[in-house]
Amino acid sequence: VDDVARAALERERVIAEAQTFTRNLVNEPSNTLTPTRLAEKAQEMAAKYGLDCKVLGKQEILDMKMGAFWSVARGSDEPPRLIVIRYAHPEAPEAPVIGLVGKGITFDTGGISIKPAADMHEMKTDMAGGATMLGVMQAIAQLKPRVRVMALVPATENMPGGNAYKPGDVVTSMSGKTIEILNTDAEGRLVLADALTYARQLGATVLIDAARLTGAVMIAL
C-alpha cells in the first residue's frame, strides 16, 4: 500500500510540475516569448528530461512546402519555428505512435482580418495548445509509460505586416491540398494542418491536436 501511495504522490507531483511549466509559458508576454524563445524553452525542457528535440526554422519549413504554416508566418518579422519532441520507451511496441500537435501562435492579431482592440492583450495566450503539449511531454518523460509519443508545435505570430497573407488568397498545404483564405483570423487550422501532415510523415498513427478557440468556446457556452 505504501508503494502504491508513493507512486500516486509522485504522479501528482509530476503532473503539478508540468501544469506549472505550461501555465508559465502561457502567461509570458509575447515580446519575450517569441517563437524562437518558445523553441529554446522546449529545448531546455527536453534536455533536462532526456527527450529528443529538433527545431526547424524558416528555410526548412519552406523546403518541406509547408505553405499553410508559412502563409501565417510570413507577415511577422519574428521567424517561425517548428518544434518536434520525441519520447520512446525502450519496451514500447512499434504501434501506436501518438502524435500530439499543439497550436503555437505566440501572438494573434487576427492578421489582415484584425481583431477588435478590446481584450487583444489576451492573444499572447494563443500558444496555449502548444504549451499544453510541451507540458504533456515533460510529464511523459518522468512517468515513463511504455509507448511512443511525439509532440509538434508550429510556432509563429499572426501579424498584419506588408507581406501578410490576405482574404482571398489560395495557399498550398504540405499535403498538396489548396486552401482558400476567407478570414486570416482562422490561422490556427492552417498551422495545424501542416504540422498534422508532418506528424503523419514522421510515423504518427494516432493524432491529437489542441488549440485555443476562445471565441468559439464563448459562443458555445
Tell me the catalytic residues. 115, 189
Q: Are 190 and 174 in contact (CB under 8 A)?
A: no
Q: Are 65 and 178 in contact (CB under 8 A)?
A: no
**Grid cell locating 57:** 526554422
Strand segments (E) across the chain:
52-56, 81-88, 97-102, 104-108, 148-158, 170-172, 178-180, 206-210
> First CA to last CA across the chain, in angstroms?
42
Cα–Cα distances (Å) from 29 to 8, 132, 152, 184, in that order, read 34, 17, 22, 22
d(C-alpha 24, C-alpha 126), whole Å: 13
